[in-house]
């Protein structure tokens, strides 16, 4: 059976069109991402570096999440920078190269958002509350938040501008207790360090910090902690050079994998 020249031309045109569509469906950009830049879970096409600025209290959990993200997206690298949320917000506002910002409170996130330094809207992904950290033997016999006001007690807290410091002030106001700390630290990990090194009788940190410290400290819970629940937001930084990869990392933090890591560490849901 003969085929007309017009029929052959039509078949060839259809073949070229199908090949073109197939090529579009599988093509990648120069940096290895899919055309819209989105990292694909478990895919080798996602590539590049995402720099994450995160609150000090997220160090253990974000280190684990970053490892899972890199494993799920071969070719990617997550660079982590941990510090007090207020310090990180200042660094970003001064032009520090960051793709993602995860704060330990909404106040510091709002500072960047109000300055138009955040891309889109931040997402709340976790909550945390304070707990008293003391040496394992608890030599000062601390039993309550009010005990922290005992004369001569060496208490360490976060500075007021740091989320854990702001939470401490809220609890003081709610309980009518005034603390006289021997030092105010720039991050919650610094507070914990003072306790574990024996430089303080007690420190106000987060529940998650006590859990992560293992047997290095003993945790003293107090009912008034619910007066100062800290909510953790996360967002893409406006100046990010890899926004799609940043969004993919945020998706993991807020997704089932991230929620499990955070829950296991003692974080609450927002």
- Other Cβ atoms less than 10 A from the Cβ of 6: the count is 8
First to last CA, the chain: 71
Residue 50 labeled ligand binder = no
Q: What is the pLDDT of residues 180-225, one digit of tens each?
A: 999 999 999 999 999 999 999 999 999 999 999 999 999 999 999 9
Q: Which residue has the higher pLDDT, 30 or 7?
A: 7
* Predicted pLDDT of residue 46: 63
Q: What percent of the chain has pLDDT over 70?
A: 83
The pLDDT mean for the chain works out to 87
In order of start, what are the domains of the chain with their CATH numbers? 48-126+232-265 (3.40.190.10), 130-227 (3.40.190.10)
**Tell me, what's the pLDDT at 255?**
97
- Whether 109 and 98 have beta carbons less than 8 Å apart is answered as no
pLDDT tens digit sequence for 14-24: 443 333 333 33
Buried-state track 161-196, b at ≥16 Cβ within 10 A, e below 16? bbbbbbbbebbbeebeeebebeebbbbbbbbbbbbb
Question: Taking residues 80-99, what's their average pLDDT?
Answer: 97
pLDDT of residue 47: 79
Burial (CB count within 10 angstroms: exposed 0-12, middle 13-18, buried 19+), residue 125: buried
Is 57 marked within a binding site? Answer: yes
pLDDT at 16: 35
Q: Report whether pLDDT(152) > 70.
A: yes
Q: Is the pLDDT of residue 96 over 50?
A: yes
pTM value is 0.82
Least confident of 1-10, 96-105, 168-177: 1-10
pLDDT tens-digit profile of 216-262?
999 999 999 999 999 999 999 999 999 999 999 999 999 999 999 99
Q: pLDDT tens, 36-89?
A: 334 544 343 467 999 999 999 999 999 999 999 999 999 999 999 999 999 999
- Confidence band, pLDDT 50/70/90 cuts, at residue 35: very low
253-269 burial, b at 16+ Cβ within 10 Å, e below that, comes to: bbeebbbebbeebbbbe
HSE (side-chain half, CA atoms, 13 Å) at 85:
29
Q: Tell me: is residue 78 an annotated ligand-binding position.
A: no
237 is in an annotated binding site: no
Angle, helix 106-114 to helix 85-93, in steps of 10 degrees: 10
């Amino acid at each position: 059976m003969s085929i007309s020249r017009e029929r052959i031309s039509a078949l060839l045109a259809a073949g070229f069109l199908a090949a073109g569509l197939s090529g579009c469906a599988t093509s990648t950009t120069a940096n290895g991402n899919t055309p819209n830049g989105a990292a694909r879970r478990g895919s080798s096409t996602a590539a590049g570096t995402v720099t994450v600025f995160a609150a000090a209290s997220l160090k253990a959990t974000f280190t684990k999440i970053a490892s899972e993200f890199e494993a799920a997206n071969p070719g990617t690298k997550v660079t982590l920078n941990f510090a007090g949320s207020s310090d990180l917000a200042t660094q970003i506002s001064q032009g520090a190269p960051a793709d993602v910002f995860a704060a330990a409170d909404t106040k510091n996130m709002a500072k960047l958002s109000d300055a138009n330094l955040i891309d889109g809207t931040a997402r709340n992904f976790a909550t945390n509350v304070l707990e008293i950290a003391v040496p394992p033997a608890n030599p000062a016999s601390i039993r309550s938040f009010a005990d922290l006001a005992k004369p001569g007690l060496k208490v360490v807290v976060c500075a007021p501008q740091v989320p854990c410091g702001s939470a401490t002030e809220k609890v003081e106001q709610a309980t009518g207790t005034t603390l006289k700390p021997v030092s105010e630290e720039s991050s919650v990990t610094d507070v914990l360090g003072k306790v574990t090194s024996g430089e303080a009788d007690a420190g106000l940190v987060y529940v998650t910090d006590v859990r992560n410290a293992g047997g290095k400290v003993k945790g003293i819970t107090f009912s008034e902690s619910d007066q100062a629940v800290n909510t953790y937001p996360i967002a893409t930084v406006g100046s990010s050079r890899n926004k799609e990869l940043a969004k993919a990392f945020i998706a993991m933090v807020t997704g089932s994998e991230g929620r499990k890591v955070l829950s296991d560490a003692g974080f609450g849901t927002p």
